[in-house]
Amino acid sequence: MTQKIIILLGPPGSGKGTQAVRISKNLGIPHISTGDLFRQHLKNNTDLGKKVRSYMDSGKLVPDTLVLDMLFDRVSKSDCRSGYLLDGFPRTLAQAEALEKHLNKSSTITAINLNVNDDTLVKRISGRLTCKACGHVHNTFFSPPSKTNKCDKCQGDLFHRDDDEASIVEERLRVYHQQTAPLIKFYKDKSVLTDINGEDPADTVFNNISKVLKKRG
C-alpha cells in the first residue's frame, strides 16, 4: 500500500492550518501540525514543553533534534499508515532530509506551496483569533467575530496566540525566509511541488489544492 504524505509549505499566516483541517477531513488522513504538538506540550508543561518554550516565545525555530523525535514518534502511530498531512514541518533542509531518510519506498510526497506576500501575512497573523473549543479562526481585520472574543461557529472563547504579536511575527517571517523558503527549491527539484496562490479566498485555495491532489492520485 502506498503511503501518501502531503506537505503544506508556506510562511506563517499563509493559511496552512485552515487548509490542513479541510484537506485532512476530506481525505480522512491525520493532520499533523508540529506547532500544535508543541503547544500541547507547553499546555501540559511536559519536559519537552519546558525545553521549547523560549524558542516558541521568541519566534525562533525549535532545534531539529527535538522536532524530529516528536514528529517521528507521532507518524509511527497506526493512523498514519496510509498517509498523513504535515503542517509546519519540515521547516529546515535538515528536517526535509531527515524525513526522506525516514520514509520507505512505498511513500510518496506531494508538496503544496502557498504563496502570500508579507504585508498580507502580518495582518493575517497579528489579527488572528482562534477558537479554544473548535479551532475555527477569526481575524480582527478580515473576519471579525460578531460578538467580541466569541466564536461565531460554536460560541467558544477566542484567543490570540502569544507568538502572533507583531514583533514576534516579524521574527517568524525572517526565520521563514532564511530557513524554510529554501525547501521550495528542494521539493521543486524533486518535481513534487505545486505553487498555489494563497491570497485567493479560502474556498478557492481549497479547490485548487484538491485539484492538485486528485491529479497526483
**Residue 186 binds to ligand AMP (criterion: CB under 6 A):** no
Residues in contact with ligand AMP, shown as a per-residue x/- string from 91 to 120 under the rule CB under 6 A: x---x-------------------------
Which residue number, 59 or 145, has a Cβ lying nearer to ligand AMP? 59
Residue 201 C-alpha from the chain's centroid: 18
Cell of 82: 496510509
Of 1-9, 32-40, 151-159, 202-210, which part binds ligand AMP (CB under 6 A)? 32-40
53 part of the active site? no
End-to-end CA distance of the chain: 13
124 part of the active site? no
Dihedrals φ, ψ of 129, to 5°? -130, 120
**Residue 11 binds to ligand AMP (criterion: CB under 6 A):** no
22 part of the active site? no
**Residue 35 binds to ligand AMP (criterion: CB under 6 A):** yes
Nearest Cα to 162, choosing from 128, 206, 196? 128
Cell of 210: 484538491
The length of the chain in residues reads 217
Which of residues 6, 61, 98, 205 is near ligand AMP by CB under 6 A?
A: 61
DSSP notation for 174-202:
HHIIIIITHHHHHHHHTT-EEEEETTS-H
174 part of the active site? no
Of 59-67, 72-80, 144-152, 209-217, which part binds ligand AMP (CB under 6 A)? 59-67
The angle subtended at Cα 87 by Cα 161 and Cα 28, nearest 5°, is 115
Instruction: Please report how close the Cβ of residue 190 comes to ligand AMP at its closest, in angstroms.
Output: 19
**Residue 62 binds to ligand AMP (criterion: CB under 6 A):** yes
Measured distance CA(10)–CA(112) in Å, rounded: 8
Active-site residue (options: 60, 74, 150, 161): 161
Residue 118 makes CB contacts below 8 A (sequence gap 6+) with 11, 173
Active-site residue (options: 53, 172, 188, 215): 172
**Residue 20 binds to ligand AMP (criterion: CB under 6 A):** no
Which residue number, 155 or 178, has a Cβ lying nearer to ligand AMP? 178
The residue nearest ligand AMP at its CB is 35
Catalytic residues: 16, 91, 128, 161, 172
